[in-house]
Amino acid sequence: MKKLCKIFVDIGLAEEIRRVPFITDEPKFNYFLTIPKENISSKYNILDTFGQGFDSNPEKAKIKSMGEMLERLCLINPLDNLHISKFIPDGNFLKPSDFFCYSYEQHPDREEILKKLDQGGYRWIKSKNLKNGKYIYVPAQNIYLSTIFKDENSLRKEQISTGAAFGKIGEDRALRGGFLESIERDGIMGFFLKDWKNKKIYNFPTKINNLVEYLERYNLETHIFNATSDLEIPTAIAIIIDRTGIGSAVNVGSKTDVNFLDCIEGSIMEAIQCRRSRLKYLNTEKVSEDKIHSLLDRLIYWEDPERLKDIEYLVSQKGYINYQKLINKKMTLNEAVKKVIDKGYDIAVTDITLPEIKENGFETLKVTIPQLHPLYLDERAKSLYSKHFGEIKSNPKLKPHPVT
């Protein structure tokens, strides 16, 4: 994978990877940024396209940075292999209404909406359904981040990148990353929206304790929670608290993996990356709840020290789950996939790789599991229904979730 950084610079898709400087009084982790070459804008949309890599290992951070940029490039540039058709209920199409993730409370006319969605015409993309190994067509508006679908019925109120991942062809890295991210997003939405109780973890191994103690030197508290759903695939959430009034007050990271050690470490690193990302945007005004329309809005909302009182109900909890009881909760990727298939859920894998990337031995895949609960970043797209969790009642006491 080390060669990928040089390959895509040499063929003219990417600029040289840039190191983001360390910041005084902030934790010191390797942080790299990659952007596309400006001259490819004549062929591809590159607006707001970049990749961030954050890791204790500098080579891994560089690879993450390049991979994320290329993944994003694929997401915002639909291939020309889309099939236009109405939904045909013959088993070869995912049902459009399965993507509708809003409750009767939100839409009293939900039944009528579902019927309308299934009667509409869409652009479809051929994918592989891991549930049965057959090819299936998926609404492309739920694969790509693009405005070309604005003439279709919107199945969801927000396009989002969940399930997209980059990797070397033949290594299952992209499939693994996309699948686990889909499980992660479902788990964290259940954790916050359903207000799961007694999930705080304690008694960590040395590796995690050392990382937590390192963050404490910068006056950062780390609180870890188990966000594993009934799918039993290990998922962790890290909440990083800054009470100094100088940095972001609340940052959240999450991670799903096949064991809890990697979940917990990954969730902590993700939370710190979110904190560092926010530092790029200085002198921004506060954001009110009704103005949270993007990832950046959500970051700004939760950086306010006033938000500490809104997260205290979680971080003030005592440890409930002993990490030692989680050590043996491990599984292979195949076992994790089977957990989802046994629920009767679809797992559609879509190849969205741009030609120059595929020619050099890499791929971007988008894993779509419509029955799982989606992450939303825009409060106007708040999702209170999924086949997995059913109807979730709106709770006026809960603040907008802090996941970014």
- Which amino acid makes up residue 353? T
Residue 310 CA to residue 304 CA, distance in Å, equals: 11
Angle between helices 295-303 and 260-278 in degrees, nearest 10 = 90
Angle between helices 206-216 and 260-278 in degrees, nearest 10 = 20
Do 314 and 223 touch, CB atoms closer than 8 A?
Answer: yes
pLDDT confidence bin for 132, thresholds 50/70/90: very high
Give backbone dihedrals phi and psi of 368, rounded to 5 degrees, phi first.
-120, 125
Is 80 exceeded by the pLDDT of residue 284? no
Q: Which of 32, 6, 9 is nearest to 277 (CA)?
A: 32
* Cα angle for residues 47, 48, 49 (degrees, 5° grid): 90
- Average pLDDT (210-238) is 98
pLDDT confidence bin for 281, thresholds 50/70/90: low
Between 6 and 215, the more confident residue is 215
Is 60 exceeded by the pLDDT of residue 136? yes
pLDDT of residue 382: 98
Radius of gyration of the chain (CA): 21
Burial class of 18 by CB neighbour count within 10 A (0 to 12, 13 to 18, 19+): middle
pLDDT confidence bin for 233, thresholds 50/70/90: very high
- Average pLDDT (253-267) is 98
Residue 141 CA to residue 92 CA, distance in Å, equals: 17
- Average pLDDT (355-382) is 98
Domain boundaries, the chain: 1-76, 83-181+334-391, 186-331
Residue 106 CA to residue 160 CA, distance in Å, equals: 20
Per-residue tokens: 95: 């049902």
pLDDT of residue 249: 95
Work out the percent of the chain whose per-residue pLDDT is above 90.
94
Domain 1-76 = CATH 3.40.50? no
Is 60 exceeded by the pLDDT of residue 282? no
Which pairing describes strands 83-86 and 121-129: parallel, antiparallel, or unpaired? antiparallel
Domain 186-331 class?
Answer: alpha beta
- Average pLDDT (9-33) is 94
Do 235 and 227 touch, CB atoms closer than 8 A?
Answer: yes
pLDDT of residue 119: 97
- Which amino acid makes up residue 297? D
Is 80 exceeded by the pLDDT of residue 117? yes
pLDDT confidence bin for 285, thresholds 50/70/90: confident
Q: Which of 61, 44, 60, 43 is nearest to 52 (CA)?
A: 61
pLDDT of residue 3: 77
Which pairing describes strands 164-168 and 235-242: parallel, antiparallel, or unpaired? unpaired
Instruction: Please give the mean pLDDT across all residues of the chain.
Output: 96
Task: Tell me whether the CATH fold assigned to 1-76 matches the one assigned to 186-331.
Answer: yes
End-to-end CA distance of the chain: 27
Is 70 exceeded by the pLDDT of residue 16? yes
Is 70 exceeded by the pLDDT of residue 13? yes
- Average pLDDT (239-255) is 96
Q: Global pTM?
A: 0.96
pLDDT of residue 277: 80
pLDDT of residue 144: 99
pLDDT tens per residue across span 61-97: 999 999 999 999 999 999 999 999 999 999 999 999 9
pLDDT of residue 279: 67
220-226 sheet: strands from edge to edge: 220-226, 235-242, 250-256
